[in-house]
Chains A and B, each alone.
Chain A
Amino acid sequence: MTEQLVVHGLEWTEKLHFVYPNEFIYWSIQIVMYPYMTGLVAGAFVLSSLYHVFGQKDLKDIAKFSLVFSLALLPVAMMPLQFHLQQPIRGIHVMMTPHFTSAIAAFGIVFSTYAIIVLTEIWFVYRQYFVEQTLALKGVKGAGFRRLIYNILTLGAYDLSEEAIAADKKGVKIFAAIGIPVACFLHGYAGFIFGSVKANALWMSPLMPVIFIMSAVVSGIALCMLTYIIIMEGKKLAASLKKGKSDESVKVIAGVEMDVIKKTSRYLIGFLIAAITLELLDMIFRGYTQMKSWDILREVMWEEDFTKIFIMQYGLGNLLPFLLLMIGKPGIKRTGIALALILFGVFMMRWNVVIGGQAFSLSFHGFMHYHMPIIPHNLETYKEGLFGALTVGATPFILFYIINKFVPSLKTSN
């Protein structure tokens, strides 16, 4: 070696038995993050739409929050792809010369459509608030910048008449309704990107998009609930520090929190059951039909990746939280643990699909193991390693913090 050449994938791939020379784990942690993050986006949006479209009143309080949260998650669905590209600067080529026989080619279009819908819906939800803020901050010292932002956010629509407000409400409903299929499409599409790779025995399945959508909704709801719990716990703590533990306000917060969580849990469990059923169906079908690839898939499932699939994904990520939520009357703490486990389970599902799909050689004669780079020592090991993934994972919370400063989504209805 004369200069330091990086063979993409070599760093983190361990080969066992016979694997074609050029085979490596090319799609690594960022491609695990990609469906995970889009899943969270789609799920958060669907949760908010359950209220806006279907009028599920019990979801009112969490609906606003999850809508704004899905906006914070949105740019993050793009990030892992950008991190993963070998030529990140050329990413824009997808928009310039989209090659429509490719399942990824329409990503830019689907994604922007979805982004526009979310933004529009949020605007309709908050227009009144923007106008009110613009008016309220008029002449307030030191609030010039804030007022300017709100003024811009109104987009010049200051009308607060009854008809105008009614029109806003209608707008919300329409965009939330269009948003559901688009959100599902956005994520089902991520499933299609995998499901249509005919060369990959594990990925290729028409069920893949549906499985992805279901688990997306599960993870989106779980994340919204968990974030909600954390924020409410914070509020509770702040209130009890200020006014003492037994103050009325602390009880009110706790009551609202429990109520929202209890109601949202029901939807979560429903989607969880659907997701697991589909995944099991897929697995049973493969086992029963025993196509050529079954021998190697079985070895991956039962031997190479047994812990990751059956213990971490199905056991810790599905069964345990399911029991935690179903048995007795789960309190906030128990629900919180169950939610964290569910998020972990969906993450493991993405991992087992993306990495698991590359765990065996296309020759069916060998295996590949992925060792995620932890401490980065060059750009590649940062981007496609633990820290790259953490960057992606942390971004939505930072964004949410900023957005929430202008678009408060955590006020409860009473």
Chain B
Amino acid sequence: MADTDTQQVDRPEGAIPDANVTVDRPGYPDEVALEGDDNIESELMTLNMGPQHPSTHGVLRLELKTDGEIIEHVRPHIGYLHRCFEKHAESLSYPQVIPFTDRMDYLAAMNNNLAYCLAVERLLEIEIPERVEYVRVIICELNRLASHLVSFGTYGMDIGAFTPFLFAFREREDIFDLFEMTCGARMLYNYIWVGGVSHDFPPGFVEKCTAFLDKFEGKINDYNNLLSYNKIFIERTANIGVLPVDKAYSYNLTGPNLRGSGVKWDLRRDDPYSIYDRFEFDIPVGSGEMGQLGDCWDRYMVRIREMGESVRIIRQALEQMPDGDVHKAVPRNVRPPKDAECYTRSETPRGEMGIYVISDGSNVPYRVKVKSPCFTAISAMNFLTRGHYVADIIAVIGSIDIVLGEVDR
């Protein structure tokens, strides 16, 4: 059984940079104050953005209170994609829940599968075969690539660059081809099972995957030249939506959003689950290169750099992968002991996903609770956008990379 110990791990020394970042916001609140003329009645305008809006990455409705062009308050209204995942899970047997976890964060379904399976495996206390662990790591990191590609592509499109979107989706297509030849599905896989995976890699997978990685590594440079270092893009994202470290902690942001603020915190390294402790990889963090630490550009760049790290992990895993049977440890009947409960967390492309499962001894979970990284990220929306221009909301939403399917579940 993988080590998914839930005890608190101390954040390493020096991981937390100086938190005294002053947030520079255009024109709020001092300059906005009306000058002198008491006769002018001024009131805030309420503006609805969404739910049908191309840049809200799903169905998110934002209620904006604006003072002219300046945002005074943002309130996200969620729930448009609510599908009762947690309640639904209480009426399905443990393996039957897995297809529903796919549909939470549909851009990184493999990582969701893994998060749930880790929890159930911990309840059952089963030993996972070596090969399965490697297969899972490879598949999850590939999915992380696919997810970050979408985030990168759509972010470019939100800001007004269409080409990166097409480039990103072209590479994502190759990843989906790998998934399709492995498990038959392109987006919603039901691939990682409790105790194993549904199919072993087909013959030719390793070669095809290596060929893809070779091709992809060069592409990251292209993305940087095309979008990351483009002056217009930098102007739109640098110094926008600055998130100081202390705020990032108090909003409980995780994943690339937290790392964008300069915190070296990644569960794959700091609380390793599965076999992530066997691989060498760096954790990219934001450094305020283009503006202030923790701005949109930093969060964006963390994702781009993480893609390179994922490629490194996949290469190592492909090299070390042993042979074996992927179905050996799949239990015939998933029946955790009575009153067992556990909380496991894992690093999905959007941050820390925690799954809490309580068993009542039957083959149906008594309770499944999901701690969703996007849900906490969206709570910072008001802080991030306050005092910016309306147009900057788009840049902020894209940079925290939310998937509404996971916010609402």
A binds B: no
Residues of A within 8 A of B (CB): none
Residues of B within 8 A of A (CB): none
